[in-house]
Amino acid sequence: MSVYFDDLAVGQTFHGGPQSVTRDELVEFAQRFDPQPQHLDEHLAAASMFGELVASGWHTAALTMRMLVDGASPRVEGGVIGAGIDDIKWPTPVRGGDVLEAMSEIVEMRPSRSRADRGLIKLRTTTRNQNGAVVQVLTANIVVPRRG
């Protein structure tokens, strides 16, 4: 069931996951989108600051996006429409074998100043691995339709 801006409230939370990631997926994503040694090559990654093969931050963001669509964000009419990202951090790298979960909280809401048929919500999403370590914090602005 889709919800509208009018159905949401600051402090409301949403959960998504679990989302597992394999070593092969790390490499496949990196080959296509972020071909750096720490994401591609076990031996070179071992000599990096990470000491092993790790996911690209952008891969972590893509996995989080999947969890947002699958339930870690409001099921708004028309889907999740992004209006921009205020902040993104990757405090802990994702490794092959990790299982991620995401929790989003509405931290701010406001009606659109230019379009009466929509509002904007600020959604802070924290993605954690199976050990509870934070692997990403994302603060995004989402366009949400208002009831007609």
Tens-digit pLDDT profile for residues 68-97: 988 888 888 777 789 999 999 999 999 999
pLDDT single digits (tens) 59-73: 999 999 999 988 888
Quote the percentage of the chain above a pLDDT of 70.
Answer: 99
Q: Comparing C-alpha atoms, which of 126, 71, 135 is closest to residue 98?
A: 135
What is the residue-wise DSSP string for 15-32? EEEEEE--HHHHHHHHHH
Q: Which residues contact 122 (CB under 8 A, 6 or more apart)?
A: 86, 106, 107, 108, 109, 139, 140, 141, 142
Mean pLDDT for all residues in the chain: 94
pLDDT-wise least confident of 54-58, 80-84, 106-110: 80-84
Name the residue ranges covered by the structural domains of the chain. Answer: 5-145
Considering the four listed CATH numbers 1.10.150.120, 3.40.800.10, 3.30.70.1290, 3.10.129.10, the one that applies to the domain covering 5-145 is 3.10.129.10
The number of beta carbons lying within 10 Å of the beta carbon of residue 19 is 17
The position carrying tokens 């496949």 is: 28
pLDDT at residue 47 greater than cutoff 80: yes
The whole model's pTM is what?
A: 0.93
**Mean pLDDT of the 31-52 span:** 93
